[in-house]
């Protein structure tokens, strides 16, 4: 048996790792010259360093990510931020605070200023949100609590504004944050880069254990019957899928192959993210800060780069990049020590199809890992894992797809 995995993001890598762990032969095909999909780093010549495609933060209790990193020997490649409370700054008046859950229920210092324990207690209904209900209808919090707590958490975790977000998915996020080893243990981000943490060690591990990785191998077409995929047609070669083989498609919901397979995921609306990178002096200490009151939402400073992330960024997709950068710089320059610091080299990345939009009822349209084809399985952060489109969801889906294709009795 061989498992053919199409797509070399972390979902495809997790599927490959799960199969190889169980002694199954794996060939992974990636269209790009490098692995990673959305979770990757790339060289920026002007900056003279690698840039990450966004700040992919994970919680300490993200079990699938922890298993993935432990298997490939990379658990030490994550740094912890906010262990004693996640810092926030209001860019309008420079007011600062730390968020620490669940301590905020009883400690004023562990929640945003102007909010009360009652704000959090009244929001407890959010812990049991309904899948077809908007998250904001489950809240009974003050305007201040919405602005300084629930909106930032929802927008960053779901890449969807609170007023549009699915209550059940936000409930899952909040339970994870308040659970043991959740937000109380801080957020974890790469010490150096996404490639150094999630991709290079995974590729090395696979190749050491007999996995085959083909880069620059875009899938052009598939040959299929009513029940099986029988051929994989790449730009340079054609692969016959044997009777005992399985295929895992770890591709985004807009990939052309879905129509070739008779599948259609166009009903899944997409939501954008903007990342703005500034080249700064490497003397600045690493930090991860939540921002409210302006365009910026999260500031991540490390290795001489300050990266600002704007989630659910629909309103900014048609704004000129230079304009965005100048506005954001006025917000973050004071946090870097000098409000008058001139604008440094900047790189703006607008990702129009970053994730699906996590609106009420979206779970009904997210596909299962199994498909109408007996030997075809899906992986990706957007399949129905019960989680929003996060790194944890992608890895969990990959492991689940890898396991499913090893169960011929259920195929």
Q: What is the mean pLDDT of the chain?
A: 91
CA distance 119 to 143: 10
Q: Residue 249 burial (CB < 10 Å; 0-12/13-18/19+)?
A: buried
pLDDT surpassing 60 at residue 295? yes
More confident residue, 291 or 236: 291
| CA separation for the pair 276, 348 (Å, rounded) | 4
- Beta-bridged to residue 270, according to DSSP, are 356
User: If you classify domain 270-356 with CATH, what class do you get?
Assistant: alpha beta
Which class does domain 2-76+191-267+360-410 fall in? alpha beta
* CA-wise closest residue to 342 among 321, 323, 326: 326
Q: Decide if pLDDT at 409 tops 70.
A: no
38, 293 contact by CB (below 8 A): no
* C-alpha separations of 319 from 91, 183, 272, 299 in Å: 20, 34, 13, 20
pLDDT of residue 141: 80
CA geometry: angle at 298 spanning 176 and 123, to 5°?
40
8 A C-beta contact, residue 397 and residue 11: yes
pLDDT in the model for residue 247: 97
Q: How many CA atoms lie within 13 Å of 220's alpha carbon, on the beta-carbon side?
A: 9
pLDDT digits (tens, 9 = 90+) for 228-240: 999 999 988 999 9
Give the H/E segment covering residue 189.
strand 187-190
Rounded CA separation 390/381 (Å): 6
List pLDDT tens digits, range 335-388.
Answer: 998 888 999 999 999 999 999 999 999 999 999 999 999 999 999 999 999 999
**Quick check: 278 pLDDT over 90?**
yes
Q: How would residue 410 be classed by pLDDT, with cut points 50, 70 and 90? A: low
State the average pLDDT over residues 298-307: 94
If pLDDT is split at 50, 70 and 90, which confidence band does 117 have? confident
> Is the per-residue pLDDT at 184 higher than 80?
no
What pLDDT is attached to residue 106?
81
pLDDT of residue 132: 73
pLDDT of residue 133: 80
The ranges assigned to domains in the chain are 2-76+191-267+360-410, 113-185, 270-356
């Amino acid at each position: 048996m061989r498992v053919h995995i199409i797509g070399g993001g972390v979902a495809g890598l997790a599927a490959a790792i799960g199969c190889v762990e169980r002694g199954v032969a794996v060939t992974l095909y990636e269209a790009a010259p490098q692995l990673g999909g959305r979770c990757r780093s790339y060289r920026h010549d002007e900056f003279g360093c690698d840039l990450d495609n966004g700040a992919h933060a994970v919680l300490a209790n993200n079990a699938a990510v922890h298993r993935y990193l432990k298997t490939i020997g990379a658990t030490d490649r994550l740094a912890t931020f906010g262990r004693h409370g996640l810092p926030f700054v209001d860019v309008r008046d420079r007011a600062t605070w730390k968020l620490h859950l669940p301590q905020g229920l009883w400690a004023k210092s562990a929640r945003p200023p102007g909010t009360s324990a009652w704000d959090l207690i009244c929001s407890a209904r959010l812990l049991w949100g309904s899948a077809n209900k908007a998250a904001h209808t489950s809240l009974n919090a003050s305007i201040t609590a919405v602005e300084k707590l629930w909106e930032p958490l929802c927008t960053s975790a779901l890449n969807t504004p609170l007023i549009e977000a699915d209550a059940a998915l936000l409930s899952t996020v909040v339970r994870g944050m308040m659970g043991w080893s959740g937000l109380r243990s801080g957020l974890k981000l790469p010490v150096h880069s996404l490639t150094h943490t999630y991709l290079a060690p995974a590729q090395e591990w696979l190749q050491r254990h007999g996995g085959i990785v083909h880069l620059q191998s875009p899938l052009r077409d598939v040959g299929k019957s009513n029940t099986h995929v029988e051929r994989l047609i790449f730009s340079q070669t054609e692969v016959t899928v044997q009777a005992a083989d399985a295929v895992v498609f770890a591709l985004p919901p807009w990939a052309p192959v879905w129509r070739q397979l008779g599948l259609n995921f166009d009903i899944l609306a997409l939501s954008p993210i903007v990342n703005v990178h500034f080249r700064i002096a490497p003397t600045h200490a690493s930090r991860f800060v939540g921002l409210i009151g302006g365009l910026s939402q999260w500031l991540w400073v490390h290795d001489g780069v300050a990266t600002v992330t704007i989630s659910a960024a629909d309103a900014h997709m048609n704004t000129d990049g230079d304009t965005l950068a100048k506005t954001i710089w006025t917000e973050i320059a004071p946090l870097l020590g000098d409000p008058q610091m001139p604008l440094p080299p900047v790189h703006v990345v607008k990702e129009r199809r970053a994730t699906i939009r996590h609106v009420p009822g979206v779970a009904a349209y997210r596909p299962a890992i199994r498909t109408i084809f007996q030997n075809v399985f899906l992986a990706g952060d957007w399949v129905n894992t019960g989680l929003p489109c996060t790194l944890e969801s992608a890895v969990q889906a990959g492991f689940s797809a890898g396991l499913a294709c090893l169960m011929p009795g259920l195929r």
